[in-house]
Structure 1
């Protein structure tokens, strides 16, 4: 049952150092380091001891957390170092590898973004499912194939910026495959189509995206307005209010009025609610009469999930609908009522700071300064184009503003204790996969549902436990230095004793492709040549996975650990791979990798 954020109680689990026997590494020295490093990552979540690299911009001071300046400092272009390029990719992409680092250095940050945005999309998830015969009637009532098509895109699609933004949007405009009930089956296709929709529109206009998700079959099933009917005076049945509430609360304006820098807009020192129960009730009337478009077919094939919802006038509420201080007049069509309603919502001043801040948190830092939020919100409100085309909600302009902002690019900010973010478990896994060009030779991508925190990642694409995502954007881990500093660490809401150990064990199996039951194969050829040089091996992994942010002490500890593993003299000797596996696992478990600065 979906409940309002105002009444939901957040719970958290305090994490303790896991038992050293919880991991399966072959070397006890390495096992101990992994356990203590993983636990330490929790304690250092947003202010670890990460190594500070050289600045990417010159003469740009650190941006204070309480700064109210909305002007960008002058940036003097300089050559982009390997570490700076890798760090950029960890914010803008699904991971970094040598080829992508070279592209960033050749094109520059803005040029790389332009190239990525112009890149054609790869095969859709829907088409991949169909190519594998998953539209056969035997799969109608299963989720078979969905995890595979989702992982394939995240790991291998060359349009890595598009995949990063698509994933970020899937955590804001939440749908979960587990909640697609009473839809005639074909959950895998419904979920795949929803991700395809986000991908196709993530570089478009946010207002258009709201329109398309509002008529998407997966969203209508997840938030229960498919088949929603007008008020019945005989039975007293009222229109379902789920989508009306979440559309405002989570997808557009949030619970309280905001200033353009994301701070609370108060009256007499008190926050003002942006909407109330009457607004939800009024807007819910608009979302009546919408159901599957079964024109020319039925639910015996998944094709209806690829079509937008259709309006059925006999079920639509034709009376006036009032919300947010405005009224949709009586007597207009359901399609027109929807369009006008979304225009009203999109015009609300909260939309820009509410969505801008969340996107910054997904890509760059959990605690952006008010000035950073204000700069991005200003671009959201107007993209700066003289002709005004898509002036508000231009996602291309917003994404560029986030990634090119001084607060994102200035490496001096990595010295600030509040700057940075905890990488989600899924993104840690993808950082490894992208760095070493992981692939599925069979094209089956047998990774599966990785939601189990005790044995896997505790997170899996489009499998959020609720409409509130895997974690809340304002989550503060209780009884921590983060809470004492009045900071948030959203991703820490997924952390528990089990998840710390589960992540390490899962990654150990993934790294060694002969274990774990998946069919991923990574390319370690570049590391094989470094296996007999511990310092060089750790340096390369530090670059590709952590943008050289591992502290000197962490680097030395990992070097000592892998140097303790004896190796043979030829590449066929598995001991060389054991060094590589150990080095990878130790970096992936280190605090400075888990906390991206």
Structure 2
């Protein structure tokens, strides 16, 4: 049968399947996109934004080969290495300031550097998705201020876990010092009923409710099981929480050989005399003396009372139960589908992914393949199905805009500061900062969720509107309000006209922009009679830092400026970059009409004429991008 007929027969059959909720078998393995639009759609789901390089690669390699390559591409740096190097640079840039050190902003720098520049896009996107399911937040004082490197280490934990199973991920998260801090079970002690002390139940509750089995018993397709009265069946009780909480006792921060002489008590409670820096990154370790030895009952499992504490054995039993619980495959599969493809997957889509989850023992790579290669992700019918798709969350809007076009970052490709050690190479990084303020910024920032429930819940349904009337969920709508809508428009406009990120002192000759005006002033204040100081001053003299400042990240739209003479040409180009080439006639006509009202003056012999022309062309480009960025066609991905 001719390939065209095969494809369109399959489209017709799958359309009937989706309409009837009977499902359609996925066969994405070996398939290649037939157009750049199809490659763009795939990359919108699998990366932080489609770019021309990856579009070409997906079209050449095919979907599955691209996924395989992405899983083999480990990131260019770990969060830990990034944080450590930025810490050294910040200290070098603030000589004599004992308080100067890396903070939560540097974890954000690492995140955006990966999201915007790293080749391992799928891994970075998946780690972000997992961070929204297994939430920690830098709003916590320890994670955000006192020991922010713990949060950096958590992102490495999520990335490393992608090479294993969901069961491996659960254990890595359960032992994470970041999660132990955020959900308050680091230093959790066994029960002492005589004084009314019982183990902290926070993590025991959340690992069931949010990280594995959810609140209600599920069928394999993610639908709720009902009792004889038609009511949902709860998956666990307060007794299950109490029993499981005993498992998460006796776990404290790592300590190495250098701290072997410190008491267990000092190390378990992270007293000053036993604060091993490795404890910020290494998995937590058991302290048996603080682990409960009483009987532990949860989810149909009983761990008998013990004469000798067995924290690791108890943890293994608990995590095995959670990972193999019938709910876990559909519960987690649906959430990953929601994060990558669509907020309201059909039951058959969930069932197909859950089946792969179960068959492979929760192998994350295979689960991701099942999600991204399924017909509901790749098929053309879902492009027009109103129930399909998802609202693009603010972080992904920002990264998509930057990856679609060229941008410049002052903090990349810079020379070393004279204050650096010999043979020092500075990091290339993207400084964007905390974008969580909905009124003045994008309304969301990685690792800054307001609670363990993330910025939005997977089951959130707007109280009014068509989605609510159809029983659909729109998780990302939980972020939407009057302030965030206005704030988003202003944030896009600010990005286009001024850039984003902290203001940076500009080196006018472009040779020494890696260090600040403060550093140069410090060097100039040193006694020039001291040879070492004289050498520093000679090095600094090559730089001409001025108090001219600009945002650290600015969009470079020279290519688009050249197209802006013709409104139709510019409109199609912006559609190609931000919408995969397709655009409704209504939006297209509105853009062409609006752009045509922005006059471009004729070039004359006047010295300022060129600047006036470029300014007018830039306004056309900014207007075109802004109109698409605020359109439903960009905000909703299919």
Q: Would you call these one fold, judging by a TM-score over 0.5?
A: yes
Highest Rg: 1 or 2?
A: 2
How many matched pairs? Answer: 535
How much is the aligned-residue C-alpha RMSD, in angstroms? 2.5
| Aligned pairs for 1:199-278 within 5 A | 199-268=159-228, 269-278=230-239
The answer on 1:61 being equivalent to 2:14 is: yes
1:171 is matched with 132
| Aligned pairs for 1:389-428 within 5 A | 391-428=360-397
The answer on 1:477 being equivalent to 2:446 is: no
- Structure 1 residues 175 and 548, CA gap change in structure 2 (3 angstroms): same
Contact 1:95–1:430 (8 Å) recurs in 2: yes
Contact 2:411–2:431 (8 Å) recurs in 1: no
- Structure 1 residues 299 and 65, CA gap change in structure 2 (3 angstroms): farther
- Structure 1 residues 313 and 266, CA gap change in structure 2 (3 angstroms): same
| Aligned pairs for 1:43-58 within 5 A | 58=11
Match of 1:442 among 395, 411, 424: 411
1:10 is matched with none
- Partner Cα separation in structure 1 for residue 9 and residue 204 of structure 2: 44
Match of 1:187 among 140, 143, 147: 147
For residues 23-69 of structure 1, what are the alpha-carbon distances to aligned partners after superposition, in whole Å with 9 as ceiling and x for unaligned?
xxxxxxxxxxxxxxxxxxxxxxxxxxxxxxx9897544324365134
1:22 is matched with none
- Structure 1 residues 147 and 66, CA gap change in structure 2 (3 angstroms): same
Per-residue deviation, 1:145? 2.0
1:357 is matched with 334
The answer on 1:544 being equivalent to 2:513 is: no
Contact 2:104–2:145 (8 Å) recurs in 1: no
For residues 81-121 of structure 1, what are the alpha-carbon distances to aligned partners after superposition, in whole Å with 9 as ceiling and x for unaligned?
11111111111111011111111111111121112111121
| Aligned pairs for 1:108-119 within 5 A | 108-119=62-73
2:282 is matched with 307
Q: Secondary structure at the match of 1:520?
A: strand
Contact 1:65–1:368 (8 Å) recurs in 2: no
- Partner Cα separation in structure 1 for residue 9 and residue 162 of structure 2: 28
| Residues 575-584 or 141-150, more deviating | 141-150
Per-residue deviation, 1:549? 4.2
- Partner Cα separation in structure 1 for residue 337 and residue 145 of structure 2: 36
- Partner Cα separation in structure 2 for residue 304 and residue 540 of structure 1: 50
- Partner Cα separation in structure 2 for residue 110 and residue 84 of structure 1: 14
1:124 is matched with 78
| Residues 163-172 or 150-159, more deviating | 150-159
Per-residue deviation, 1:560? 1.7
Q: Secondary structure at the match of 2:342?
A: coil
| Aligned pairs for 1:4-83 within 5 A | 58-62=11-15, 63-64=17-18, 67-69=21-23, 71-72=25-26, 80-83=34-37
- Partner Cα separation in structure 2 for residue 120 and residue 72 of structure 1: 27
- Partner Cα separation in structure 1 for residue 9 and residue 483 of structure 2: 38
- Partner Cα separation in structure 2 for residue 155 and residue 113 of structure 1: 18
Per-residue deviation, 1:243? 0.2
The answer on 1:279 being equivalent to 2:240 is: yes
| Residues 469-478 or 559-568, more deviating | 559-568
- Partner Cα separation in structure 1 for residue 160 and residue 36 of structure 2: 31
| Residues 282-291 or 183-192, more deviating | 183-192
Q: Secondary structure at the match of 2:297?
A: strand
- TM-score, length-scaled by structure 2: 0.79
The answer on 1:348 being equivalent to 2:309 is: no
| Residues 143-152 or 557-566, more deviating | 143-152
- Partner Cα separation in structure 1 for residue 9 and residue 484 of structure 2: 35
Match of 1:294 among 246, 250, 255: 255
Residue ranges of structure 2 left out of the alignment (5+ in a row): 1-6, 92-97, 260-272, 413-428, 504-550, 604-609
Q: Secondary structure at the match of 2:315?
A: helix
- Partner Cα separation in structure 2 for residue 508 and residue 491 of structure 1: 22
- Structure 1 residues 235 and 76, CA gap change in structure 2 (3 angstroms): closer
- Partner Cα separation in structure 1 for residue 294 and residue 557 of structure 2: 64
| Residues 540-549 or 446-455, more deviating | 540-549
Q: Secondary structure at the match of 1:452?
A: coil
For residues 286-321 of structure 1, what are the alpha-carbon distances to aligned partners after superposition, in whole Å with 9 as ceiling and x for unaligned?
000111113325676743211111111111102221
Q: Secondary structure at the match of 1:392?
A: coil
Per-residue deviation, 1:439? 4.5
Match of 1:324 among 285, 299, 314: 299
The answer on 1:372 being equivalent to 2:349 is: yes
- Partner Cα separation in structure 2 for residue 132 and residue 78 of structure 1: 41
- Partner Cα separation in structure 1 for residue 454 and residue 19 of structure 2: 26
The answer on 1:99 being equivalent to 2:61 is: no
- Structure 1 residues 317 and 75, CA gap change in structure 2 (3 angstroms): closer
2:266 is matched with none
1:20 is matched with none
For residues 160-207 of structure 1, what are the alpha-carbon distances to aligned partners after superposition, in whole Å with 9 as ceiling and x for unaligned?
1111111110110111111253x7964321111111111122242110
| Residues 504-513 or 370-379, more deviating | 504-513
Match of 2:437 among 452, 457, 463: 452
Contact 1:87–1:547 (8 Å) recurs in 2: yes
- Partner Cα separation in structure 1 for residue 274 and residue 101 of structure 2: 9
- Partner Cα separation in structure 1 for residue 565 and residue 303 of structure 2: 71
- Partner Cα separation in structure 2 for residue 210 and residue 189 of structure 1: 21
- Partner Cα separation in structure 2 for residue 542 and residue 392 of structure 1: 41
Contact 2:31–2:62 (8 Å) recurs in 1: no
Match of 2:40 among 64, 81, 86: 86
- Structure 1 residues 293 and 366, CA gap change in structure 2 (3 angstroms): same
- Partner Cα separation in structure 1 for residue 244 and residue 105 of structure 2: 36
Which has a greater percent of helix? Answer: 2
- Structure 1 residues 76 and 205, CA gap change in structure 2 (3 angstroms): closer
2:451 is matched with 466
1:42 is matched with none
Contact 1:140–1:186 (8 Å) recurs in 2: no
Per-residue deviation, 1:74? 9.4
- Structure 1 residues 203 and 553, CA gap change in structure 2 (3 angstroms): farther
- Partner Cα separation in structure 1 for residue 119 and residue 8 of structure 2: 28
